[in-house]
Amino acid sequence: MTPSDRFTRRRSRQWDNLAAIRHLSRAELIREAFNLADNRPASNKHAFGLWADGNTDGIHYDIQIRKERE
């Protein structure tokens, strides 16, 4: 068994355990996880550090910094 197989089996057992605790199927639990991820706020309100007060998108910021270094 490869390390990847062990990881996959362990992760699968974790999903199964959580699904059993919540009385859901693994598929339903994963659907809920995707729904939560899709519905998270896209604002910077929850940012921290350098990004806390800015409205700049991270990719846009990266492009600006790279242009300044040229």
Q: Among 46, 68, 43, 69, which residue's Cα sits nearest to residue 56?
A: 43
Match 């009385």 to its residue by tokens. Answer: 23
The residue written with tokens 């992760």 in the block is: 11
- The domain containing residue 39 runs over which residues? 3-69
**Both structure tokens of 44:** 């910077």
Q: What is the pLDDT of residue 20?
A: 93
Question: Would you say 24 and 31 are in contact if contact means Cβ atoms under 8 Å apart?
Answer: no
Residues shown for the chain: 70
Mean of the per-residue pLDDT values of the chain? 79
Q: Which residue has the higher pLDDT, 30 or 51?
A: 30
User: Residue 51 has which token pair?
Assistant: 């990004």
Is residue 47 scored above 80 in pLDDT?
Answer: no
What total of structural domains would you count in the chain?
Answer: 1
**pTM reported for the whole predicted model:** 0.48
Confidence of residue 39 (pLDDT cuts 50, 70, 90): confident
Residue 69 — very low, low, confident or very high, per pLDDT cuts 50/70/90?
confident
For residue 42, give the DSSP letter.
-
